[in-house]
Chain A
Amino acid sequence: MLSYVLRRFAGLIPTLIIIVTASFLILRLAPGGPFDQEQTLSPAVRANLERAYGLDQPLLSQYLVYLQHLAHGDLGTSLRERDFSVNELIREGLPVSAALGAAALLLALLAGIPAGIAAALLHDRAPDYGIAAASALGLALPSFVTGPLLALIFGLTLHWLPVAGWSGGALRYLVLPAVTLALPVAATLARLTRASLLEVLRAPFIRSARARGLGPARVLLHHALPPALLPVVSYLGPAVAFVVTGSLVVESVFGLPGTGRYLVQGAIDRDYPLVMGMIIVYAVLTLVLNFLVDLLYGWLDPGVRRA
């Protein structure tokens, strides 16, 4: 197991270096600079600005300086939000985004897996069709449609929950964004759980467990579920990526002060350090969470460890 962990971990490092280098090169070599949008600057002012931010240096030394700072955990200064370092902006927004993402994942797991189990056990009966229809709808509805619609129904019409805002992380403000983000993930989890549990329930070892006189609850919990949840665990990696991306939209719909708006606004403004910082933070987050999912998978399925 230890060698598996180390091997997986070592695989992360080149990926990370490639991502850092590629995003640095792409952003620096791109047409259009960060000082393009405002009224045209006089060449002297422009040169001074570029000197102040080190943009007049050769590309290689810019890259080395960036790497050196990165090694110290410093992501640089935002070019637009002059008074803030990228670290400060991220430190401010990340708890909000993390709370949203964690709540959404948890909600999706708690809703999706039981729904999938119920659908598999009641195969080809009314509840199965109901769950299938609900998950088809959950998959087809993008977050930027469900978000405003939920706000319209539960916020503006019924006045049960606030339409937008964060208010220091009060639970009431987290409900609608988390539900919006969780819906498609829950739908996918329900489908996966249903399909894989149905397949396992048909397997000979389940039949022999039943033949030995074990009760339905014991067969389900001890024999059928553990192998049936393997494909569900492997979906958690893509689910993490989905939640991270989806949080961009959900944060913008509900006006949450998370990190998503920095990436979007940074991209619009061509604010290199901000976009780079955000991409690296999101990439590290996705890689680490995928790494943890891999470990979980290796722990559940010994065959994977040896491969």
Chain B
Amino acid sequence: MREARPQAGAGLWRQAGERLRSRWAVRLGAGALAVLVALAVLGPWASPWHADAIDWQHLAQAPGAVAGHWFGTDRLGRDLFVRTLTGLRLSLLVSVLATLTSLVIGVTYGAIAGFAGGRTDEVLMRGVDVLYALPYLFIVIILTSLLPRGSLAVLFLALGAVGWLTTARIVRGQTLALKRREFIEASRALGVAPPAILVRHVLPNLIGTVIVYATLTVPQMILFESFLSFLGLGVQEPRASLGNLIAVGAQEMSSAPWMLTVPSAVLVLLLVCLNLLGDNLSDALDPRGH
């Protein structure tokens, strides 16, 4: 019985991998994403400027090669190339951590609800329904207004604390379906304790679903983070994030349009790549339609 599962799983994954590699959209998205991540990690060191350094000679300098300000500078003379890339780095970091937080909460919650079933399941999922009725971001706004502003930990915990609802629903559904499978029944008949069944047999079988959902969650979290930072509730000056760079750029767009277009272009490119990869991955792992 333990022989059959991994083989079937490897088959699905290998097939999905082949399908993915043959698509030009995936190659393009993955390549561009790799470039963006490399730029976010290494880019700031390539520039002669520091994210907070003020260049009094070149305030609101247009993009070009002047004094190494490749993407120009902002109103305070800070280098936009470095600020955009450090902002990108921060957005990536916050969104990945927020996604992990939401996965931990969502998988635990959904697996417990689905595995316990009955009354527990009903109460737990009713709570999810209630939270669903409120638009996500309102809860994040409440949370960010309650907790100290400007702390990154608070930001990704707040985002993760509301992003888990859909994960919980999907995981619960999968757990309910898994629970009725023969191998779970067999281990129950062998006298394995329920928590052990959950950890040893149910969770490993959820990994595929969870990975697919995570790739779709990361761009959502990037969007939420920049949304909050744009409104002034997320990352605070002098720290740069794509959201607050765009907010400042929007105020300065009549005299310094590059302050708006540079961070916007990076954000849009990042979101397009992630959406492309996420859509194709969930497509490739979906056994229907092939």
Quick check: is A59 within 8 A (CB to CB) of the other chain? no
In the complex, which of the residues A23, A253, A279 contacts B250, with contact meaning CB atoms closer than 8 Å? Answer: A253
Of A148, A242, A266, chain B has the most CB atoms within 10 Å of the CB of A148
By a CB distance below 8 angstroms, the chain B residues around A253 are: 250
Quick check: is A248 within 8 A (CB to CB) of the other chain? yes
- B255's nearest neighbour on chain A, judged by CB, is A156
The distance in angstroms between the C-alpha atoms of A23 and B232, with both chains bound, is 21
1/0 contact string of A116-138 vs chain B (CB within 8 Å): 00000000000000000000110
Main SS of chain A's interface residues?
Answer: helix
Of A25-33, A96-104, A168-176, A228-236, the one touching chain B: A25-33
The distance in angstroms between the C-alpha atoms of A32 and B146, with both chains bound, is 7
Quick check: is B100 within 8 A (CB to CB) of the other chain? no
A146-166 at interface with B (beta carbon < 8 Å): 147-149, 151-152, 156
Main SS of chain B's interface residues?
Answer: helix
Given known A30-B146, A142-B267, contact A19–B130 (CB-CB < 8 A): yes
The distance in angstroms between the C-alpha atoms of A95 and B125, with both chains bound, is 35
The distance in angstroms between the C-alpha atoms of A244 and B230, with both chains bound, is 17
1/0 contact string of B218-247 vs chain A (CB within 8 Å): 000001001100111100000000010011
By a CB distance below 8 angstroms, the chain B residues around A15 are: 129-130, 133
Quick check: is B272 within 8 A (CB to CB) of the other chain? yes
Given known A140-B272, A144-B226, contact A282–B135 (CB-CB < 8 A): yes
The distance in angstroms between the C-alpha atoms of A138 and B211, with both chains bound, is 25
Q: How far is the CB of B129 from chain A (nearest CB, A)?
A: 7
- A283's nearest neighbour on chain B, judged by CB, is B134
Quick check: is B249 within 8 A (CB to CB) of the other chain? yes
Quick check: is A86 within 8 A (CB to CB) of the other chain? no
1/0 contact string of B125-156 vs chain A (CB within 8 Å): 00001100111111001101111010000000
> Number of residues in A with C-beta < 8 Å to the partner?
44
Q: Flag if B246 contacts A148 (CB, 8 Å).
A: yes
1/0 contact string of B184-212 vs chain A (CB within 8 Å): 00000000000000000000000000000
Quick check: is A263 within 8 A (CB to CB) of the other chain? yes
By a CB distance below 8 angstroms, the chain A residues around B144 are: 267
By a CB distance below 8 angstroms, the chain B residues around A145 are: 246, 264, 267-268
By a CB distance below 8 angstroms, the chain B residues around A245 are: 135-138
Q: How far is the CB of A259 from chain B (nearest CB, A)?
A: 12
By a CB distance below 8 angstroms, the chain A residues around B226 are: 142, 144
In the complex, which of the residues A144, A242, A279 contacts B142, with contact meaning CB atoms closer than 8 Å? Answer: A279
By a CB distance below 8 angstroms, the chain A residues around B275 are: 136, 139-140
The distance in angstroms between the C-alpha atoms of A149 and B282, with both chains bound, is 32
Given known A15-B129, A140-B271, A283-B133, contact A263–B253 (CB-CB < 8 A): no
Q: How far is the CB of A161 from chain B (nearest CB, A)?
A: 15
By a CB distance below 8 angstroms, the chain B residues around A266 are: 145
In the complex, which of the residues B146, B149, B233 contacts A27, with contact meaning CB atoms closer than 8 Å? Answer: B146
- B222's nearest neighbour on chain A, judged by CB, is A142
Beyond contacts A145-B246, A242-B135, A268-B233: 20 other A-B pairs, Cβ-Cβ < 8 A, are A31-B147, A136-B272, A136-B275, A141-B271, A142-B227, A145-B268, A147-B250, A148-B250, A152-B257, A156-B253, A245-B138, A249-B227, A252-B231, A253-B250, A263-B138, A267-B145, A270-B145, A279-B138, A282-B138, A286-B134
In the complex, 24 of the A-B residue pairs with CB atoms within 8 angstroms, ordered by the A residue number, are A15-B133, A30-B146, A31-B147, A32-B146, A136-B272, A136-B276, A139-B275, A141-B268, A144-B227, A145-B267, A148-B246, A149-B264, A152-B257, A241-B136, A244-B135, A245-B136, A252-B231, A263-B138, A264-B231, A270-B145, A275-B145, A282-B138, A283-B133, A283-B134
